[in-house]
Amino acid sequence: MARLGPSERNHRPLRTIEPDELKECFPKLESGKYERASKATARYNCVAFANEDERHWWEAGLYGGRYYWPPHVVQNNTVVAITEIFAADGYELTNNREIEPGWEKIAIYVSLADMEFSHVAKSDGRVWKSKLGKGQDIYHYSLDVLEGDQCDEYGVVAVLPDG
């Protein structure tokens, strides 16, 4: 099975990914380990979603209209820059990957291929939440279900800021 490169991923047709297809992309996403929370949309990405912004796509170097990048953060999509976004909102680093009632947490994933930023998930203290690229939002009950290096998996969680 081949893994799509970044440019091919961005050109997939916009549609909600069905459970069987989602399982192909993320082999650990089995029934009972996640719930679909929305239909697919290209309006916002995982960084925007974790910042509760469903109107913009947060990405360094893209300006205007539906694109946004915080003015206080260096213009790049590195783990350091992504971490700075959440540190500015009062999140602090933690080693605890578990959902904790009363604590918001952010999980920053990095690709196993190059150790560069690949995804952000957010916990509200009850469940982890993720925006799957231009696909749907999901609730998942552990960070492990999106980790790995097969198909579209996001690599590993490298940074855990909590607030």
* Separation of CA 19 from chain center: 18
Is the entire prediction scored with pTM above 0.75?
Answer: yes
Biggest CA–CA distance in the chain, Å, is 41
Pairwise CA distance, residues 44 & 129, whole Å: 14
Q: Report pLDDT digits (tens) over 55-100.
A: 999 999 888 888 999 999 999 999 999 999 999 999 999 989 999 9
Q: Cβ(134)–Cβ(12) under 8 Å?
A: yes
Q: Write out pLDDT tens, residues 114-163.
A: 989 999 999 999 999 999 999 999 999 999 999 999 888 999 999 777 66
Q: Classify residue 105 as exposed, middle or buried by CB count within 10 Å of its CB (0-12, 13-18, 19+).
A: buried
Phi, psi of 112 (to 5 degrees): -70, -25
Q: Where are the domains of the chain?
A: 6-41+76-162
Structure tokens at 27: 């082999």
